[in-house]
Structure 1
Amino acid sequence: MMLVSNRPGAWRWVCLMMVAVFFLSTGCIGTGKGRSGPLPALVPVTPGEKAYPAFGDDLNFEGLEEALLQSLAYYSRLPETRTFAVGDDRYSLSVMVRSVVVLLNAIQEEPTPEALSRFIRENYRVYRSTGRDGKGDVLFTGYYEAELTGHTEQTEQYRYPVLTRPDDLVTIDISRFPGVKSTGKRHLIGRVTESGAVVPYYTRNESENGSALLDRTEILAWVDDPVDLFFLEIQGSGVITMENGEELRVHYQTKNGHPYRSIGRYLIQQGLLEREAVSMQTIRQWLDENPERRQEVFNYNPSMVFFKEEAKGPLGCYSVPVTPNRSIATDKRQFPACGIAFITTEKPGETTGDEVLSWESFGRFVVNQDTGGAIKGPGRVDLFTGHGPSAELTAGHMKQPGSLYFLVLKPSAR
């Protein structure tokens, strides 16, 4: 079954992409059957299996077209020889492009859940993440575009700097050095000392939360709340409303190379918050109520993020804008870049103030367009929720179980 739209706009996109696909390779599938070793991040599931989902979309496809087009924009920049690992299988660029184009065309018809499920069964191979336990259990969290208040100059009120990459920070691609054994890391971040030695870059504590780096970096803005600034680093992007009313968008540029450590975990370890009660909102409340210990908690996380100004909305790790409620961040070593995904998890139901009183199950198509320092392995997904109070509420509380699937077009549908 193929769904075809009568909308002229949809046809323009399909025609353009079909021309692009024509010049790409046919996309043979390589399979890893007969493999041995650890379980792959994705395994095939077929209709009739208990793990095979009933495909529906709780947002009625809103925002999905935009997200899919961003994936096509990413694919258009890649060489024709690029391939993508999906579990034990490998697909060509042309197959990934065609997978997006066919789904993009299909959703123009706004199919019913039944028609959509039938369309997916007939046209797509479905892979399920093996999750945290090897059985498909995935933990879903959320992230959002932070909102801050800033000033172009340092004042008594605006004292906390948003910094760009320091001029003494160096990134070393160790894969270019012969004889260096891989440790799982390709790049090292550090600085060069006066004696010529390369050493790790300053930690958060060593740089005094960035204030010791002011002569080595550009200051994008001064903000009025150190907690807001800390959470901006965790989210990776934000909008700073300046004193003249203009908005300054900032986005992750690089980091100091030290591993991210969760301050929520630190507060639990210190007996300052109960594990069940930890959320972004409760962490923020504790920091606001205990300013004398704020820096101690901040310093538990040695990682620091440096930013750049960005004209458009927040960008994912593949340099395409992420779409609210449609873009996910995963471990980029485990899952195909900008691939089509489907998730089942929970979203806030009844809320009051900063609290979520109940959670509702949902299924939704998303696109794999970002990554994150705390998003490791096949059992973690971060959902981009956008910006504003609702986005912050969802992202701050979301710690829900669920399942993650990836879709690739079948050979018969290409």
Structure 2
Amino acid sequence: MRSWSARRLWLVCLLLVGASCARVPRPAVTRPQDALVALQDTAKLVDDGGVASLRVALGESLIWLRTRPVDHRFVYGPREVTAGELVAALERLRDRLTDGLSSQDVSTAVLAEFDLLESAGGEDGTVLFTGYYEPVLDGSMTRSEEYSIPVLSAPDDLIEVPLEPFAERFASEKVFGRLEGKRLVPYWNRSAIRGGKLGQRKLELAWVRDPVALFFMEVQGSGTLRLVDGTERRVGYAASNGRPYRSIGSLLIQEGAIPKEQMSMQALRAWLAANPTQRDRVLDHNESYVFFRFLPGAAVGSLGREVTPGRSIATDARLFPKGGLAFIQTDHPVKMADGSVQWKPLARFMFNQDTGGAIRGAGRVDVFWGRGPEAELAAGMMKQKGRLFFLVPKPRAVVAVP
């Protein structure tokens, strides 16, 4: 565990979470069953995606779930299921998802194996959907006058402390910091890191020319570097400094720089480009900083598995079952032939395969869209209300052995 002893880790965590490890019920994340009766009509769950992509996402969840102990329990609001039960149900669903199924057939196949539970949503009972994507940045493996902004790997003095072993109420919670003597203190914030606090440690994976593009790649969690020789290198999340995520969009709305109804990633980029003297101040408002690593293949989520465009979502890992099957109903932007943008319904089965610093509570979902202009459009503009459902395996009768 890096350079410090297990005893020192225990003492730090004891101070952070207290000595009590009593079982504390998790917050309910679903509505009562009796509120779901009218939702069992499969016509309300018609999937607008293709079977092939659904099978791909299902396969990634299965690979991860099979690494869990078979008796590991996943909480679905009022229900709990084991990893073994979830794997078995998904395997049966995979066998049902054959080529050529209609959208209605897909829904029928899902509801043959799963019951439906709806997210309780946020404080107002609604769910806010946003999007994220895989950006492409111009980069170089060597520093130059043009490429002078470093893409950093994780420093070796960054300490990650999972809190769940010390108190169940801190499930999926972590603390990040660094040692000052025998004390664990918060890690350096964005301003300090940008100012060169880590500059002598040779952490640079590559160099880019646009600090704003790098900032948004941090927000997305992964991206592709298009190098000067024409090749590409994918990078993904390695760690963060543990500082809380703070929205620069909210800051500029509060300051009156961008009206709330006009806020989008595209609007943020335009404002920062038009106000270069304000750039560092605004970016440093978000003290969170993401470190990267090179990826051997496609973008991966918090499960360490590849995320599937249009089939993977990020939710609050403290509340919703990792790798679980979900269904969403919301809207997404579509660019028309004449260049205009129209909002179209989005109704689709998804897999819970990622999380994020800004995705907190039962009322937040982030949809992964992949890469390219359409993905960037959806990620930049989506901030739509909608409904989130999780599908829990149906209880199966236990046959008594004579």
Letter matched to residue 147 of structure 1: V
Superposition pairs of residues 61-76 of structure 1, within 5 angstroms: 61-76=51-66
1:141 to 100, 125, 130: 130
Tell me what 1:11 maps to.
none
1:390 correspondence with 2:380: no
Shift of 1:413: 8.7
Shift of 1:216: 2.5
2:156 to 167, 170, 195: 167
1:206 to 186, 189, 192: 192
CA 1:36–1:152: 2 relative to 1, 3 Å: closer
CA 1:181–1:130: 2 relative to 1, 3 Å: closer
Tell me what 1:107 maps to.
97
Superposition pairs of residues 35-114 of structure 1, within 5 angstroms: 39-41=28-30, 43-44=32-33, 48-49=37-38, 54-114=44-104
1:279 correspondence with 2:264: yes
Tell me what 1:127 maps to.
117
Shift of 1:78: 1.4
Tell me what 2:345 maps to.
361
8 Å CA contact 1:99, 1:408 repeated in 2: no
Measured on the aligned residues, the alpha-carbon RMSD in Å equals 2.6
1:305 correspondence with 2:290: yes
Query: Deviation per CA, 1:282-336, whole angstroms, max 9, x where unpaired?
Result: 0001111111100010111111111111111111111111000100000011111
CA distance in 2, matches of 1:128, 1:204: 37
Moved over 6 A (4+): 180-185
Q: Which runs of 5 or more residues in structure 2 are unaligned? A: 1-23
1:225 to 188, 202, 210: 210
CA 1:400–1:174: 2 relative to 1, 3 Å: closer
CA 1:133–1:252: 2 relative to 1, 3 Å: same
Superposition pairs of residues 229-268 of structure 1, within 5 angstroms: 229-268=214-253
8 Å CA contact 2:163, 2:171 repeated in 1: no
Query: Deviation per CA, 1:195-250, whole angstroms, max 9, x where unpaired?
Result: 4433211111122x163312124211000101111001100100001112221111
**TM-score (ref. length: structure 2):** 0.86
Specify the SS of the correspondent of 1:215: coil
2:363 to 355, 376, 379: 379
CA distance in 2, matches of 1:283, 1:235: 15
Specify the SS of the correspondent of 2:51: coil
CA distance in 1, matches of 2:64, 2:171: 25
Tell me what 2:175 maps to.
188
Tell me what 1:406 maps to.
390
Specify the SS of the correspondent of 1:63: helix
8 Å CA contact 1:45, 1:128 repeated in 2: no
CA distance in 2, matches of 1:278, 1:402: 19
Letter matched to residue 144 of structure 1: Y
Letter matched to residue 203 of structure 1: N
The percentage of aligned residue pairs carrying the same residue is 40
Tell me what 1:150 maps to.
139
Letter matched to residue 319 of structure 2: Q
8 Å CA contact 1:82, 1:93 repeated in 2: yes
CA distance in 1, matches of 2:26, 2:197: 47
Letter matched to residue 63 of structure 2: A
Q: Once structures 1 and 2 are overlaid, which stretch shifts more, 103-112 or 378-387?
A: 103-112
Query: Deviation per CA, 1:124-166, whole angstroms, max 9, x where unpaired?
Result: 211111112464x211100001110111111111010000111
CA distance in 2, matches of 1:153, 1:143: 28
Shift of 1:38: 5.6
Query: Deviation per CA, 1:55-92, whole angstroms, max 9, x where unpaired?
Result: 22212324111100001110121112211111111101
Specify the SS of the correspondent of 1:392: helix
8 Å CA contact 1:161, 1:211 repeated in 2: no
Aligned pair count?
A: 374
Q: Once structures 1 and 2 are overlaid, which stretch shifts more, 49-58 or 225-234?
A: 49-58
CA distance in 2, matches of 1:39, 1:163: 38
8 Å CA contact 1:166, 1:217 repeated in 2: no
Shift of 1:46: 7.6
CA distance in 1, matches of 2:26, 2:182: 42
CA distance in 2, matches of 1:37, 1:184: 9
8 Å CA contact 1:167, 1:216 repeated in 2: no
CA 1:271–1:225: 2 relative to 1, 3 Å: same
